[in-house]
Amino acid sequence: MIKLYDRVDGTVVGRINDRQLRMLQDQLDETSAGDVDYCVDETTIDFLKSAGADRSLIVLLEQAMKDRAAIEIAWEEVQA
């Protein structure tokens, strides 16, 4: 299981599965091989939708953004 959290305040955004993490990794820019964070905005969410991201991942990201223009999320693997 993968935990997503807000890089700014450390708030847990939610949990995703390995397939959803691979979607983020495959579709979003990483600055290095060990990169574990992404900037997400409305354009990013629209891009993920068009790339076939599943609905639960999209809803999670939309909820994490709340009323902000963008959010920087990070992920870490956690024991189930």
Q: Which long-range contacts (CB under 8 A, 24 or more apart) does 63-71 make?
A: 63/13, 63/14, 64/4, 64/6, 64/13, 64/14, 64/40, 65/40, 65/41, 69/41, 69/42, 70/39, 70/40, 70/41, 71/6, 71/8, 71/13, 71/39, 71/40, 71/41
Dump pLDDT digits (tens) for 19-61.
999 999 999 876 666 668 899 999 999 999 999 999 999 999 9
Dump pLDDT digits (tens) for 55-80.
999 999 999 998 899 999 999 998 86
Q: Dig out the tokens for 44 from the structure.
A: 């990013």
Give the mean model confidence (pLDDT) for residues 1-16: 94
pLDDT of residue 79: 82
